[in-house]
Amino acid sequence: MLLDVRDLAVAYKDKEGREVRLIDGVTFQLRRGEALGLAGESGCGKTTTALSLLGLLPQNLYRAEGTIDINSTRGVMHVHRRTERGLRDMRWNTVSIVFQGAMNALDPVVRVSDQIAEAIELHDPGMTKADVKARIAELFGYVGINPNRAKQYPHEFSGGMRQRVMIALALACNPELIIGDEPTTALDVMMQAQILELLENLRRDFGLSMILITHDLSVLAETCDRVAIMYGGQIAESGPVEQLYAGPQHPYTQRLLGAFPTIGGPRELAPAIPGVPPDPADVPAGCRFWPRCHRAQDRCQVETVEERPLGEDRTVRCLFAPWPDTAEAP
Amino acid sequence: MAADPPVDTQVALPGTKGAFGRLWSGTARSLALLRTTRSGMAGLILLVFFVLVAIFAPWIALQDPSSATSFSRDVMAPPSLHPLHPLGTDETGRDIFSLLVYGTRISLTVGVAAALVSAVIGGFVGIIAGFSGGLLDNVLTAIDDWFLVIPFLPLAIVLVSLLEQRAADWPGGKLGIIIIVIGITGWAGTSRIIRSQVLSTKERTFVERSRALGAGTPWVLRKQILPNVLPLIFANTVLIIAISILSESTLSFLGLGDLSKPSWGTMLDTANESGAVAQGSWWYFVPPGLCICLLVMAFTMIGYAIEELINPRLRERR
Amino acid sequence: MRVVLSKVLFAIGTLLFVLVFNFFLFRIAGDPIKDLIRGNPRLSEAGRERLIKERGLREGYLTQFRIYVSQTLHGNLGVSFQTNQPVSTMIRKAMPNTLILVGTSTILAVIIGTWLGIYAAANRGSPGDTGVVQSSLFFYAMPDFWAGMLLIWFFAVLLGLFPTGQKSEPGADFSTLGYTWNVTQHAVLPILTLTIGIVGQWVVIMRSALSDTLREDFVTTSRAVGLPHHRVLQHATRNAILPVVALTAINLGFIVSGATVVETLFSWPGMGLLTYNAILNKDYPLLQGVFLVASAAVILANLAADLAYTYLDPRVRR
């Protein structure tokens, strides 16, 4: 077990000083070499969870509850207890992250090679200049870019290439876990396939563990071993990808999967899920999903719903799971 | 002032027709929301205070500085109770407190009028340039760039000095000249902001859609461009008022003001000339400068608050 | 390369425009013969005729313009009314003094302003940040000459620490070292005043630019990599500097107007004092000359800032 997250809650204090939780009771594990997909609508807390793993929360957010433990080759790390200094030691050489390839994920006024070199030299000050240069060339080789381009600036790379550069940067210090925060969302379908294939190959070649964050369920189906579906700051359902897709146990997942038409399936428009995700400051009582749930009953509006195991390696946060049939109600 | 990025404004309230109706409701809305900003509120209070002083000047002041009776032989006197001179007298024996009170009128009027001139010119140029595009846009932008690069004060000094000779024929006399000159030298920043706002509005889908449906230029201008641009002009003008007040005080300090209608800047000029600083007569030169400072701060705070309100991007920063 | 060339061409174009503007302004706004003669009692009849012929004041406009341009390009900016000296000589003598004042103040203001701006942005929302913002607003709203008056009053009159004006003790006999020390003493208050006038604007711009930059994705990347706080700030500041440099045009205007006013207040023998005396005595040739030189200086400074921006931002370079 490489990563063990238990009951993680992250919050901020609103103007009246009340605690508003962006994520609550998030629990999951990640085995070495495994790929976990973290899926959900915008604002459900996926990025907040990812940033917590690196201790990278913005100033006004804090960890309200929970633990994050990493069982790395360099020792056991209790991320939630680390000081800023300790976190900086651990960043990039244990866990690294690839952001959505927006224009400015890399410093626009610094050459790409200098930015990668900065990361390498930070965590391995003993390396000589020549070694660093060789390492950069090696990294570019892994991601399939001509090493001569290392001295160029970020804006001189196209979107897909820039993502490759970010991946090269993410690999620079030999991390054990790479987090991809919507790494392909800004790319077209062709590049998306290439990047996913690249990540898959790297994972295999280097034995990396990966957390892939996305709102695109088809991407998860292709690349991940296990999936956790998030809603309203909590994990609604999690489990091995084939099981989850074949038989989703949370009504939210059921509707989400229904929203993706299969090629050979019936030719009809999938119904959209009515309503909007809850505002963290104003969460509904009972189950967070009940206002939009097509299978909600009276109990759902009052009872707090815990995450329950459903057999081996499977959890779900619904009062009525397991469902006898996993299709949506008519 | 730093140039601001284009702005997304909200749709106008129902029941208010036309561009001016929207400006009015925009103002009302802004005033209401202004109260939620602490600094906007403070600025508003200060402004109201000065406006009231300006309006009720004849009742607040102890004498009328422009009347011959206010001159006396009691020159450069410190504050006293008998005769009542709360801030002493100036080098012509006039009561400084009264000068200060009447000066409110001048400083406010010149500042607002000059800013309006700037706003009208800048607004026109910006809208025409942004909307027409092509050669007209290039020419107007070049002129605008030129005005931006030329330093304000030398240009203003040259213009005022030259036009002074015609002061007798000019409406408003010397002050009128100053208003026009500050207005002419100050429009360039506004037009740039307005132009970029017009450009970005023009490209937005709802404008393209109406043109595809056959809407003519005047209609598009009136119903779609103007409502997006007027609030920005309004916010910008408030900040320009602050700058204009400072400009007027600078020009007056350099001796280009109208001595018969003293503004706070003129007071500082005469204070300096008559040696008030060397004599330590702080009651003469501290109050006028303080008033300028407070009035400029008031307009600046209000201007920033309005900007923050109409630009949702700025708002999220707080 | 093409970018650089176009900017240089634009600067030259603006300079030419100023030249033309200068020429027409004085011809149109006033009567050149009358202006030449006005207030210059030292001109004899013969001398007046000579000047008129020299400038071709009785010829057509085109001839006058030709003469004007060739004279200007040769450094002949006319003869001052007040002193009968060539304007170019007067300017040449005054320029170094202005440069000392402006140069030192600008450097100080930039250093202090950048430091405060970074501090405020990095600690946004803290009491320190609020303090910085409010005091910057106050200093910005303060007329610079008023600040100078307060400083003179406090430090020179009350405390007697510094002289009240001028560059050095008139009539005293100094060794070089003694002279330098004396000048320095006289320079402290003017430099301090001008710095106060400039710094407010700079802090606000720097803080705003850095605040915006700190929200960019690459800042999160730098933190994720594990860089210590000061290195992250370095990355951010390197980027934030860009819009600040781009806005230098507005700053330069402030500096010029500030210098004029400060020199007037302190009788510091620079170009600003020349301007003031020219206004007082309606010395149009001198006014024209100073306007030309000041505009040229600002245009060149703008060009320098523009080129610096091109060098600093690799996205523009290619």
DSSP codes of every residue in A154-169? GGGS-HHHHHHHHHHH
Average pLDDT over every residue of A168-179: 91
Average pLDDT over every residue of A47-55: 89
pLDDT in tens, B215-245: 777 777 777 777 778 888 888 899 999 999 9
Checking if the pLDDT of C60 tops 70, the result is no
Residue A271 near residue A260, CB atoms below 8 Å? no
Checking if the pLDDT of B275 tops 80, the result is yes
pLDDT band at C50 (very low <50, low <70, confident <90, very high): low
pLDDT at C36: 57
pLDDT band at B1 (very low <50, low <70, confident <90, very high): very low
Average pLDDT over every residue of C1-14: 82
pLDDT band at C56 (very low <50, low <70, confident <90, very high): low
Percent pLDDT > 90 in chain C is 13
Percent pLDDT > 90 in chain B is 21
Using CB atoms, pick whichever of C143, C152, C265 lies closest to residue B249.
C143
Where does chain B have alpha helices with state H? 18-34, 38-55, 57-60, 96-132, 134-149, 152-163, 173-203, 205-212, 217-220, 226-251, 264-273, 276-279, 282-310, 312-315
Could you tell me the two tokens for A119?
């990361």
Checking if the pLDDT of B13 tops 50, the result is no
The verdict on a CB contact (< 8 Å) between A153 and C222 is no
Interchain touch B–A (≥3 Cβ pairs closer than 8 Å): no
Instruction: Give me chain A's average pLDDT, please.
Output: 85
pLDDT at C27: 67
CA distance linking residue B296 with residue B108, whole number of Å: 10
pLDDT at A281: 82
pLDDT at A89: 87
The verdict on a CB contact (< 8 Å) between B272 and C17 is no
Checking if the pLDDT of B9 tops 60, the result is no
Q: What is the 3-state secondary structure (H, E, C) of C273-307?
A: HHHHHHHHCCCHHHHHHHHHHHHHHHHHHHHHHHH
Higher pLDDT, B85 or A195: A195
Whether residue B293 lies within 8 A of chain C, CB to CB, comes out as: yes
CA distances from A59 to A8, A11, A63, C123, C235 (A): 18, 11, 11, 10, 19
CA distance linking residue B116 with residue B108, whole number of Å: 12
Average pLDDT over every residue of B124-132: 85
Q: Which of A156-165, B28-37, B101-110, C31-40 is the most confident on average?
A: B101-110
CA distance linking residue A197 with residue A86, whole number of Å: 33
Interface contacts B/C by beta carbons within 8 Å:
140
pLDDT at C191: 92
Q: What are phi and psi of A248, to 5 degrees?
A: -65, 140
Average pLDDT over every residue of A258-272: 66
The verdict on a CB contact (< 8 Å) between B153 and C257 is yes
- H or E segment at A209? strand A209-214
pLDDT band at A118 (very low <50, low <70, confident <90, very high): very high
Q: Report the half-sphere exposure of A164 (CA within 13 A, side-chain side).
A: 24
pLDDT at A44: 83
Closest CA to C164 of C139, C195, C188, C198: C188
Angle between helices C127-141 and C176-214 in degrees, nearest 10: 120
pLDDT band at B22 (very low <50, low <70, confident <90, very high): low
Checking if the pLDDT of B23 tops 70, the result is no
Residue C263 near residue C270, CB atoms below 8 Å? yes
Q: What is the DSSP letter of B256?
A: I
Pairing type for strands A177-181 and A209-214 reads parallel
Q: What is the DSSP letter of B79?
A: P
Exposure string for B127-158, b = 16+ CB within 10 A, e = fewer:
bbbbbeeeeebeebbeebbbbbbbbbbbbbbb
pLDDT band at B111 (very low <50, low <70, confident <90, very high): very high
pLDDT at B40: 81
Could you tell me the two tokens for C149?
């008056």
Percent pLDDT > 90 in chain A is 17
Whether residue C288 lies within 8 A of chain B, CB to CB, comes out as: yes
pLDDT at B18: 54
pLDDT at C112: 92
Average pLDDT over every residue of B282-303: 92
pLDDT at B141: 86
Checking if the pLDDT of A255 tops 50, the result is yes
Checking if the pLDDT of A274 tops 90, the result is no
pLDDT at B42: 87
Closest CA to A111 of C317, C27, B109: C317
pLDDT in tens, C291-317: 888 888 888 888 888 888 888 888 876
The verdict on a CB contact (< 8 Å) between C227 and A88 is yes
Instruction: Give me chain B's average pLDDT, please.
Output: 80
Residue C37 near residue C48, CB atoms below 8 Å? yes
Using CB atoms, pick whichever of C30, C146, C299 lies closest to residue B289.
C146
pLDDT at B317: 42
Closest CA to A157 of A170, A171, A142, A140: A140
CA C118, C120, C126, C128 dihedral sign is: positive
Average pLDDT over every residue of C190-204: 89
- H or E segment at C313? none
Of A60-64, C75-79, C152-156, give the lowest mean pLDDT range: C75-79
Using CB atoms, pick whichever of C217, C235, C314 lies closest to residue A153.
C314
Q: Show residues of chain C in contact with B289, CB under 8 Å.
A: 142-143, 146, 149-150
Average pLDDT over every residue of A227-251: 88
Q: What is the DSSP letter of C79?
A: B
CA distance linking residue C45 with residue C37, whole number of Å: 10
Of A262-266, C76-80, C127-131, give the lowest mean pLDDT range: A262-266
pLDDT at A260: 61
pLDDT at A262: 64
Whether residue C72 lies within 8 A of chain A, CB to CB, comes out as: no
Q: Show residues of chain C in contact with B297, CB under 8 Å.
A: 137-138, 141
Q: Report the half-sphere exposure of C215 (CA within 13 A, side-chain side).
A: 10
Checking if the pLDDT of B50 tops 80, the result is yes
pLDDT band at A114 (very low <50, low <70, confident <90, very high): very high
Q: Tally Cβ neighbours within 10 Å of residue C135.
A: 14
Checking if the pLDDT of B80 tops 90, the result is no
Q: Which C-chain residues 131-150 have CB contacts (< 8 A) with chain B?
A: 137-138, 140-143, 145-146, 149-150
The CA dihedral of B133, B134, B140, B146, to the nearest 10 degrees, is 120
Q: Tally Cβ neighbours within 10 Å of residue C118.
A: 18
Checking if the pLDDT of C55 tops 80, the result is no
Q: Which B-chain residues 119-158 have CB contacts (< 8 A) with chain C?
A: 145-146, 148-155, 157-158
Checking if the pLDDT of C97 tops 80, the result is yes
pLDDT in tens, C8-47: 888 888 888 888 888 777 666 555 555 555 545 555 666 6
The verdict on a CB contact (< 8 Å) between C284 and B161 is yes
pLDDT in tens, C228-269: 989 999 999 999 888 888 777 667 877 888 899 999 998 888
Using CB atoms, pick whichever of C14, C143, C164 lies closest to residue B146.
C14
Average pLDDT over every residue of B270-285: 86
pLDDT at A178: 92
Q: What is the DSSP letter of B305?
A: H
Checking if the pLDDT of A330 tops 70, the result is no
pLDDT at B291: 94
Whether residue B3 lies within 8 A of chain C, CB to CB, comes out as: yes
pLDDT at B119: 92
Residue C54 near residue C74, CB atoms below 8 Å? no
DSSP helix/strand/coil, A37? strand
pLDDT at B11: 39
Does ipTM top 0.95?
no
Could you tell me the two tokens for C75?
């450094």
Checking if the pLDDT of A101 tops 70, the result is no
